[in-house]
């Protein structure tokens, strides 16, 4: 029986903070020898106030091996921008645990996607609330990958349905157009490839 050869955990936009009202254009990657794949996008808030308008996250492909006049969007995602809840994480919450201590759980709801902003952006992460202990803690579905000390939890985070990379694409890139999004925010865009069939 034929099996697919795949490569995962590839990066279009590394987890990063994007300044208010800014545009980040990711580096193009060559997918000309690949048989398609998937793109994974996560978005997190870094301020609780409303952000003016949504950021537009574009996944683009090119029919050309080089040059910058051949980009076409295969997906455009517009984020929410209303005010959100921000809560400081109390003390240190260790990696490998899923109970996040906070002084207040006001406006947090079971099922909320949250973004936990760490002072080291690469140690930030996303989670989904599965239970709440009022004004004490929230429990998320999966354990934390990193210890969270001095971090801030924001709700209204967003994780999108993966986007299919067409197998006819020659190059691939991600663009975070936050030109109208008046707050700093976090973005991460990763992808996986189908390399071939054995």
How many angstroms separate the Cα of 90 from the Cα of each of 87, 108, 120, 131, 162?
9, 16, 17, 17, 33
**Burial degree of 64 (CB within 10 A; 0-12, 13-18, 19+):** exposed
Instruction: Set out the domains of the chain in order of their start, with CATH numbers.
Output: 13-82+158-191 (2.60.120.680), 86-154 (2.40.30)
pLDDT above 90 covers a percentage of the chain that reads: 97
Would the pLDDT of 5 be above 80?
A: yes
What average pLDDT does the chain have? 97
Residue 1 has pLDDT above 80, yes or no: no
Q: 62: which 2 tokens?
A: 């090119």
Q: What is the mean pLDDT of residues 75-91?
A: 98
Read off the pLDDT band of 73 (50, 70, 90).
Answer: very high
Residue 2's pLDDT band (boundaries 50, 70, 90)?
confident
Q: Which residues pair with 122 in a beta bridge?
A: none
Contact 111, 156 (CB under 8 A): no
What's residue 39's pLDDT?
98
Non-local CB neighbours of 121 within 8 Å, separated by 6+ positions: 15, 16, 17, 186
Residue 157 CA to residue 187 CA, distance in Å, equals 10
């Amino acid at each position: 029986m034929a099996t697919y050869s795949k490569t995962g955990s590839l990066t279009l936009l590394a987890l990063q903070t994007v300044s208010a009202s800014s545009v980040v254009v990711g580096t193009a990657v060559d997918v000309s020898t690949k048989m398609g794949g998937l793109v994974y996008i996560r978005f997190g808030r870094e301020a609780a106030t409303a952000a003016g308008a949504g950021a537009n996250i574009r996944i683009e492909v090119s029919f050309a091996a080089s040059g910058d006049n051949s980009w076409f969007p295969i997906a455009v995602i517009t984020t929410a921008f209303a005010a959100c809840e921000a809560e400081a994480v109390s003390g240190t919450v260790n990696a490998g645990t899923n109970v996040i201590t906070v002084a207040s759980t006001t406006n947090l709801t079971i099922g909320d996607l949250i973004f936990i902003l760490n002072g080291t952006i690469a140690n930030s992460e996303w989670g989904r609330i599965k239970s709440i202990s009022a004004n004490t803690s929230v429990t998320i579905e999966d354990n934390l990958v990193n210890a969270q000390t001095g971090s801030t939890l924001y709700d209204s985070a967003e994780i999108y349905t993966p986007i299919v990379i067409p197998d006819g694409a020659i190059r691939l890139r991600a663009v975070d157009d936050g030109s109208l999004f008046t707050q700093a925010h976090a973005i991460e865009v990763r992808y996986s490839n189908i390399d071939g069939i054995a």
